[in-house]
Structure 1
Amino acid sequence: MASAAVHKLLHHERSHPDDQRDESPQPDPHELDAMERVRDDEKRMLSQWEDTKRPLSPTQMHGDASRKIVGHSSRVLRQQDFELIKTLGTGTFARVWLVSLASPKDGAATKVFALKILRKVDVIRLKQVEHVRNERNVLARVAGHPFITTMVASFQDHDSLYMLLDYCPGGEVFSYLRRARRFNEPTSQFYAAEIVLILEFLHESEGVAYRDLKPENILIDAQGHLKLVDFGFAKKVDNRETYTLCGTPEYLAPEVIRNTGHGCAVDWWAFGILVYEFLVGQPPFWDQNPMKIYEQIVEGRVRYPSAMSADARDLIAGLCTVDTSKRLGNIQGGARTVKEHPWFRNIDWDALYHRRVQGPIVPHLRGPADTRNFDEYEPEPEGREEYSADMRDRWDECFKDF
């Protein structure tokens, strides 16, 4: 951990140049040396994490945050500590890069990560401050889960927020599903079971509703297991209801569309839609007009292809139930009622959690930095709005968790 003097220096380092005055004291060379030692220690820890990562139990994930090797807020990391290799994805206020440690030591040259960079100006302009805070804090809490993207660390500088994540070179499940048109039943069962373990943990250990379950938000790692990403809509709701309209039209639960208040039950509805899409190749409710989709969802009448097994139909019907008090996963017993459904009769849940079961789709990779499963993106535009001193005074307190 950094000393108080180093923390003071780091705060000074993040100050905007406009704030500096000629009479400002110069940093003590000893403090600079101490800061560099702390930074080197952290980079060494990052280079070793990939070799020792393994699923943590819920108890370990809820342990002392300062002792966790993942999920922590770093006061020493900076963008210059990483080499930007290639853009993996972009959003309205974020860009995700494949990165490696700059100036690697101790054989760390092949250690790669995904670095999510969020410009503070864009986060504020698009009114995403609360969503970004939720995402960072939820990811910090769940870091170490075998099927959730691991936020190794977060940090910030004057202009941007950063989340350093594990890299999943397999790309989106969506891409594999489109190429295959549909998954066979064993593949669907395997991936659905990993998602059940994710939802069980988020709902019952964390009280968190994910609220954006869809194939595009599920990546495949190098071993063929799933990783749930993009927690921008995730929210800690516990037993309360929330009213924010968010999600993807085909996956929205009826209670979200009706704006009657919703909780974790929305994820079990979306899970039913996802299982259907795995097996059929498209979601059950679809129209070019989103309003027509909403009408179909509220009606809640799922049409099943004749080739779908009786157990799969029964599972989807239990999940895609308009009445939340009767929805599988939300009834008494929670996720256990889903895990005990006959469709999952061949799943060894303990072996699955500890990743002792081989994934059905293992990506072919040239190495840890292979990006063939990701699209090409345009470079970042130039001449973007600056994060002003007024903005900093008003908003930096909101970003203190980073």
Structure 2
Amino acid sequence: MFHLSNNLAATSISTHVFGYRDDIRDNYVEPPAIAPTETELTKPVNINQNTLPNPTATTNVQSIKEPDAKKSNTTHYSPFYPEQLPSTPPKTPGGSFLLSSAQASADPTSPAEIDHSDVTRPHCELKLTHFKLERTLGTGSFGRVHLVQSKINNRFYALKVLKKAEIVQLKQVEHTNNERAILTKVQHPFIVNFWGSFQDSLNLYMVLDYVPGGELFSLLRKSKKFTNDVARFYAGEVLLAIAYLHSKDIIYRDLKPENVLLDAHGHVKITDFGFAKLVPDITWTLCGTPDYLAPEIIQTKGYSKAADYWAFGVLVYEMLAGYPPYYDDNQFKLYEKILTTAPKYPSSIDATARDLLKHLLTTDLTHRYGNLKNGYRDITDHKWFASLDFNLLLQRKIRPPHIPHLKGEGDTSNFDKYNEEIYPYGLQQDDPYRDQFPEF
């Protein structure tokens, strides 16, 4: 298995009401969101989070022709291997990758200026000295994600640290700047909250909400697979976040269980925007996680929002089956399967879910749900989602199927443990790359 471990015993998902577990009161009460430099609640951003976005559809991308199986071996793929290419922390079993610029010529689309007018955030000047460094939450090619505690308000946050020299060496400056720009643009109940950024001579720092429930991947690994009701809940919240991003012409491009966190109440928070991009029309960049890649990305054709809906289909399939629809140890064979074969559905996936997946995992963009005239509403209106009220879901009024057991705000029991090392954060020395990250 590429994602899941077969030697883990099946574990049932607890369904206790928030604040309780097995009739025992939890010690944890989730505090309201406060900026790291504030001691009192700040005014909320001026954005309506409780309404569904208008449907968006990609109409300017031509449908993909079915590949000729006889010619699939001669398709010109560039060799690339996730372990040898950069990913943003935390590095996950899914193996996100971004094709290096030497392998993929410059993206024909130039990034548009991000408009921040629709999101107003409190002015928050952050410094490394504002935080007490706690344990590591995740690691990646560029650095680490740490749990940190604000010395000003004692609240806990996640600090994403990226090494500037490695970003420049791997020619990922534009994507790193894109990540920060997009995080400043978005605000949604199911997307991790961004508080600000700063830099020193060696590193870039981004401060995000600490989401204590851990990865959806970990829950899925323990459960092996989800029931329809459990998968439908998580799929619904993820879908609303993706639809929101698309309403702002943002493609996420790295949807997978490892990038879906669970908050203290059990609701999802999408994280890691290292591959997200503002794309009003189409883009050509080859990036993502191999078993979640849409066919049009593999074929290096221009693609747009529809690629996220293919990945959404893979996510739903994996939650219901316990494994992704396509997998092969050989990367080229994996891509050939994605391009030329229809998924095989185990008996655990019922006819209704299978029907939805067939409308998502299709190479024909003119038939893929999410990419048609009604946009994401073709998915929300599907009979598999009939029992889910998306308006209540958006307002977080539907009880999650699993609520993490937390003993306090800084509880890290839902995250894997990492070897802790001493990092030279905050050193003063030559800084040749500062001008390449002007917004940090």
Instruction: Tell me the TM-score normalised to structure 1 length.
Output: 0.80
Cα gap change, 1:300 to 1:152, in 2 (>3 Å)? farther
**Residue 334 of structure 2: SS of its match in structure 1?**
helix
Aligned equivalent of 1:344: 385
Identify which range, 285-294 or 360-369, moves more after superposition: 285-294
Residues 150-197 of structure 1: per-residue CA shift (max 9 Å, x gap): 102222233322111011111111111011000111010000000110
1:34 is matched with: none
Distance 1:123 1:381, change over 3 A: farther
Equivalent residue number for residue 93 of structure 2: none
CA distance in 1, matches of 2:372, 2:119: 36
Which aligned pairs between 1:3-402 and structure 2 lie closer than 5 A?
43-45=36-38, 47-49=39-41, 56-57=47-48, 64=117, 67-69=120-122, 74=124, 76-102=125-151, 104=152, 108-109=153-154, 111-142=155-186, 144-204=187-247, 206-239=248-281, 241-380=282-421, 389=430, 392=432, 395-402=433-440
> RMSD value over aligned CA atoms?
2.6
Q: Residues 356 and 138 from structure 1, CA distance in 2 versus in 1: closer, same or farther, beyond 3 angstroms?
A: same
Call closer, same or farther: CA 1:164–1:317 in 2, change over 3 Å.
same
Kindly state the Cα deviation for residue 352 of structure 1 after the two structures are TM-superposed: 1.0
Structure 1 counterpart SS, 2:40: helix
Match of 2:287, SS state, is: coil
- Deviations along 1:260-313, one digit per CA (max 9) or x if unpaired, are 121111100010011000001001111121211111100140111223221100
3-state SS of 2:327 partner: coil
**Do the aligned residues in 1 keep the contact of 2:313 with 2:360 (CA within 8 Å)?**
yes
- Paired with 1:126 and 1:174, the residues of 2 have a C-alpha distance of 28
Cα offset, 1:361, TM superposition: 0.9
CA shift for structure 1 position 338: 1.0
The total of aligned residue pairs comes to 344
Q: CA deviation at 1:66?
A: 8.1
Equivalent residue letter for 1:224: G
Aligned residues of 2:226 and 2:320 also touching (Cα < 8 A): yes
Helix, strand or coil: the match of 1:158? coil
Q: Is the 8 A contact 1:115 1:163 kept in 2?
A: yes
Cα deviation for residue 126 of structure 1 reads: 2.1
1:267 counterpart letter in structure 2: D
In structure 2, C-alpha distance between the alignment counterparts of 1:54 and 1:86, rounded to whole Å? 30
User: Conserved in 1, the CA contact under 8 Å of 2:192 and 2:270?
Assistant: yes
Q: Is the CA contact (8 Å cut-off) linking 1:55 and 1:145 kept in structure 2? A: no
- Identify the structure with bigger relative contact order (alpha carbons < 8 Å, sequence gap 6+): 2
What is the alpha-carbon distance in structure 2 between the residues aligned to residue 344 and residue 316 of structure 1?
A: 12
**SS of match in other structure, 1:98:** strand
| Contact 1:81-1:101 at 8 Å conserved across structures | yes
Q: What secondary structure does 2:435 align onto?
A: helix
Residue 216 of structure 1: how far off its partner (Å)? 0.8
- Alpha-carbon distance in 1 for matches of 2:156, 2:46: 19
Q: Percent identity?
A: 44
**Does structure 2 conserve the Cα–Cα contact (< 8 Å) formed by 1:213 and 1:270?**
yes
Q: Is the 8 A contact 2:49 2:189 kept in 1?
A: no
Q: Is the 8 A contact 2:37 2:126 kept in 1?
A: no
Q: CA 1:59–1:348 in structure 2 vs 1: closer, same or farther (change >3 Å)? A: closer
Per the TM alignment, residue 52 of structure 1 is displaced from its structure 2 partner at its CA by 7.8
Alignment check: 8 A CA contact 1:120 1:387 kept? no
Residue 382 of structure 1, CA deviation: 6.3
CA distance in 1, matches of 2:47, 2:321: 34
SS at structure 1 position matched to 2:269: strand
Unaligned runs of 5+ in 2: 1-33, 54-114
Amino acid at match of 2:40: Q
Which structure's CA Rg is the greater one?
1
Once the two structures are TM-superposed, the CA of residue 387 in structure 1 deviates from its matched residue by: 8.9
Kept after mapping to 2: 8 A contact 1:56/1:146 = no
Name the SS of the counterpart of 1:325 in structure 2. Answer: coil
Q: Distance in 2 between matches of 1:300 and 1:226?
A: 31
Q: 1:48 aligns to what SS in structure 2?
A: coil
Counterpart residue type for residue 225 of structure 2: R
Match for 1:228: what amino acid? Answer: I
Aligned partner letter, 1:333: N
Q: Separation in 1 of the partners of 2:226 and 2:409?
A: 26
Letter of the 1:118 partner, please give it.
L
Q: Is the 8 A contact 2:321 2:348 kept in 1?
A: no
Following superposition, the deviation at residue 65 of structure 1 comes to 6.9
| AA at the equivalent of 1:324 | L
Structure 1 unaligned runs (5+)? Answer: 1-40
